[in-house]
Amino acid sequence: MKKQATLFIATALFALAGCSTSVPIKNFEQNLIPQTSKIINNTADVETGILKACIQLGWQCAPVSEGKIKGILNIRTHQLIVNINYDKTAYSINYQDSTNLNYNGSKIHRQYINWVTNLMRHIDAEMI
């Protein structure tokens, strides 16, 4: 009987751990600009591609300085703010701040990864 109770508790804890809505925070560093037939001559071409991808997905993005864009995504009561640093060969998306995404210094709501990954896919598509 004691063995069954221990097994039940272990199974319940394992199941609850799988339901977690938080994941470790991750910055997406040095994503290479796809090398395709489209010629990327300068950082202005990269900036244009990033801004187009942002608009397609409903992000509010604006250049902050040469090689840096601030991106804001508002979905319902959630807000995500990222910094997008870039040059003509690569770009990085780094977490800056959020509201209602349960950020605690090391973990954040799992939707953060999905939103940023989706933005990266659209940026890459704009560069092709």
- Ramachandran area for residue 46 (φ above 0: left; ψ -120 to 50: alpha; else beta): alpha
Tell me: pLDDT of 12 over 70.
no
Measured CA to CA, the distance from residue 103 to residue 127 in angstroms comes to 31
Q: What is the mean pLDDT of residues 10-14?
A: 48
CATH number of 94's domain: 3.30.310.80
Residue entry with tokens 């090398």 = 35
Tens digits of per-residue pLDDT, 33-59?
887 756 777 889 999 999 999 999 999
Tell me: pLDDT of 15 over 50.
no
Judge whether 90 lies within some domain.
yes
Judge whether 8 lies within some domain.
no
Q: What is the mean pLDDT of residues 76-102?
A: 96
Judge whether 17 lies within some domain.
no
- Please report which confidence band the pLDDT of residue 114 belongs to, taking 50, 70 and 90 as the band edges: very high
Judge whether 44 lies within some domain.
yes
- Find the domain containing 91 and state its range: 22-127
* 3-state SS string for the chain: CHHHHHHHHHHHHHHHHHCCCEEECCCEEEEECCCCCCCCCCHHHHHHHHHHHHHHHCCEEEEEECCEEEEEEEECCEEEEEEEEECCCEEEEEEEEEECCCCCCCEEECHHHHHHHHHHHHHHHHHC
Tell which residue, 89, 49, 91, 45, has the closest CA to residue 68: 91
pTM above 0.75? Answer: yes
Domain count, the chain: 1
Which pLDDT score is estimated for 4? Answer: 59
Judge whether 43 lies within some domain.
yes
Residue entry with tokens 């199941």 = 15
